[in-house]
Structure 1
Amino acid sequence: MRKIWFGQSECCGTAVRYYLMAEEAAGIERYGLQIRYGDETETVPDITTSQRRIQSLLEILMQGGVTPATAREVVEDWLNGAEA
């Protein structure tokens, strides 16, 4: 799995770092993300096959200052909203 730095925001004076995670399986590129905040890390793999969609999601997470503690919930909400 490749880890690509995407950007960062700030929460309570500490940097929140966002990474795009990419992995190829059966010739298809799958994208996920990782968020790091201090000693906390949350990785959510295999969210989409669309690079544009994962970048859009990462932008939303950065703008909202989402930390690892709530990352999975926000991603699930985003996926549910995207399917509606």
Structure 2
Amino acid sequence: MREMLADSCKEVGEDGTEHCFEYIILVDEMEVSGGLFCESYGVRVVREDGESAEVRNLTVRVERIDELVELLRRNAVSPVTLRDVVEDWL
């Protein structure tokens, strides 16, 4: 598996605390048939304190994972809410 830092953002919470999030694209290989492999993409969100969450093998299309990362960044999605956002996105 490879990882690529795609983006990051800072967000001020309701309590006035600033949070920083990094959005990382995960690149895996998955077997499609008969020994043929293709790249699949997932995402990890990491908060500045080290808390993280990831969802792997979401798509094989680069454009789709780029769209998801932009959605996550634009909405300052945290590790806690990542899975819910991904489920809605799918």
Common topology (TM > 0.5): yes
Structure 2, gaps ≥5 residues long? 13-17, 32-36
The equivalent position to 2:19 in structure 1, one of 7, 14, 24, is 14
Structure 1, gaps ≥5 residues long? 80-84
Residue correspondences, number: 79
1:34 counterpart = 2:44: yes
SS of 2:53 mapped into structure 1: strand
Higher alpha-carbon Rg: 2
In 2, Cα distance between the equivalents of 1:8 and 1:42?
Answer: 15
- 4+ residue runs of structure 1 moved beyond 6 angstroms? none
- Deviation track 1:22-66 (CA, whole Å, cap 9, x = no partner) reads 011221111000000122100100111111100100001000000
In 2, Cα distance between the equivalents of 1:34 and 1:17?
Answer: 8
Structure with more of its chain in helix, by fraction: 1
Larger displacement relative to structure 2 (6-15 or 25-34): 6-15
SS of 2:77 mapped into structure 1: coil
* Aligned counterparts, 1:1-84, within 5 A: 1-12=1-12, 13-26=18-31, 27-37=37-47, 38-79=49-90
SS of 2:64 mapped into structure 1: helix
In 1, Cα distance between the equivalents of 2:84 and 2:27?
Answer: 21
What root-mean-square deviation, in Å, do the aligned CA atoms of Structure 1 and Structure 2 show? Answer: 0.9
